[in-house]
Amino acid sequence: MSAIEWLDHTADIGFRATGPSIEAAFCEAGRALFSLMFDIETIEERDEYSLEMSADTREGLLADWLSELLVQKDLTRLIFSRFEVQISGSEASGFLAKGRAFGERLDRVKHQAGTDIKGISYLGLEVVCQDAACTAQVLVDV
């Protein structure tokens, strides 16, 4: 079970993405991010983008994951609706993410724009895994 919960915030927009694993939570976070910017139901899976990154913490990895997806939107005009990721590592050794994002080139007529996201904030950034669920909490700069 995966879910997105929108958070009230005075200046920015926040969300909590939850899934049965850290990978599912990261994928839901990607969906939440692009849901803010576009109606992701209109984004077809025509293109695939592979990404790989490492970070010392889960939170750093999440920020890098979402930031890289934003960079691709800005540099290549690729927008995404589905994500896959494998995450390995530990707090002691650091974390590695290898993933793919599926979508297509931005078409301003087809993909009507929503909120413009400037970046991912480290304020309030949190990844918590316990029991049978992981939650990724994110604030985005608008």
Q: Which of 11-15, 34-38, 52-56, 123-127 is least confident?
A: 11-15
Residue-range domain boundaries for the chain: 3-141
Q: What is residue 7's predicted lDDT score, i.e. its pLDDT?
A: 75
Q: Tokens in use for 79? A: 């927008």
- Can you give the pLDDT at residue 41? 95
pLDDT score recorded for residue 4:
84
pLDDT grade for 10, boundaries at 50, 70 and 90: low
CATH number corresponding to 3-141: 3.55.10.10
Distance CA 99, CA 83 (A): 7
Per-residue pLDDT reduced to its tens digit, 22-58: 999 999 999 999 999 999 999 999 999 999 999 999 9
Q: Length of the chain in residues, anyone? A: 142
Q: Which residues make Cβ contacts (< 8 Å) with residue 10, sequence separation at least 6?
A: none
pTM: 0.93
Tens of pLDDT along 78-100? 999 999 999 999 999 999 999 99
